[in-house]
Structure 1
Amino acid sequence: MKKNFNDIKQKYEEFYQELMKKGRLPIKDTGVGFWGAAVIDEVFEIFNKIELGKFKHLLDIGSGDGKVVMIASLFGVKATGVELDQELFKKSMEIKNHFSKRKHAKNVEFHNKNYYEHDFTPHDILFINPDIPFHRGLENKLLREMKGKLLLYGSHYYPSYLKKEQSFAVNGTEVSVYSKF
């Protein structure tokens, strides 16, 4: 797992270096939200801490460049990302295709659409790095369709009607696990 992790990490570092050579940072206004790259080492540590391998199917809600999905695939789960932004979706597919001969990449799937159009019910763990308040529609969708846990990365926005089961910090980043009441 460690070699695959390091290879994925290297591929994303190359992508961010490309962006910076063009005078851009790994952040972007997507028109419907805001993408900010998750810290790869934190994501790996979080997935170890929650024992992601106990789950079957992760969905990254607003998957950006696909990093979280690629890391999740290392834990033996099916990993799906939904991203509306065409540029970020293309980068996700490019990185997935780069690793296509590796076993873990066969568990990866990306969809280029708004996550409000994606059915959450097949997934037993949802990941989000929220960029908008939950009360703008996402929380209602979660209440209708969430079948397992919500893994919230960051401390910007919180759901009001889900039950917080666990909260911990990884390198100062708050992480919370939610379920339905």
Structure 2
Amino acid sequence: MGAPDEDEQPHRPSDITVFGANCTLHGLSHIFLPGGVTLRRLLWLAAFTSSLSIFLYQVAGRVIEYYQYPHVTLLDEMDTPFMYFPAITFCNYNSYRRSQMRRNDLFWMARMLGVEQGDFDDYLAQLGGPEESGKFFPSKSFNMLDFVQRACHDIDEMLLDCKYRGQECRAENFTTSNSDTWKAN
């Protein structure tokens, strides 16, 4: 018995085997294992390649459809001798007029807005709100409904020109359905 040859070294796994064993992509660690080809590996390879193919097919289909710019337009038309004034909704993502915010409002909503109490005057000045002089005493409670009614956008200011069937419509033709929405009468 002789000593093992110094030239013989233990078999080191290939780089792809090391990559597959450490990869988090599901299935690769089952495909690239040390050793020969087995039925289990072939099944994993088939499952992996078919899943990848289906995924790439769907992605390619969505990309092709996206660049075709498809659109669908549906139009329903009805004839009627009389039609009521249509329901109109004004949506304004800027729900409140910041210029209507008062120091008391800011006192109660400062935490939501991320404003420190010492910065109230600067914050209100930047909003363009009215200057409030004198000592400030916050109210004991805060009524959000009162704030919304005072600070929401006014239909008189938003409605610049309105005509329906040749007749003028004015702010009186609209009613408030909630703090942010105006609907036509």
Give TM-score scaled by structure 1 length: 0.20
Instruction: Point out the structure with the larger helix share.
Output: 2
Instruction: Point out the structure with the larger strand share.
Output: 1
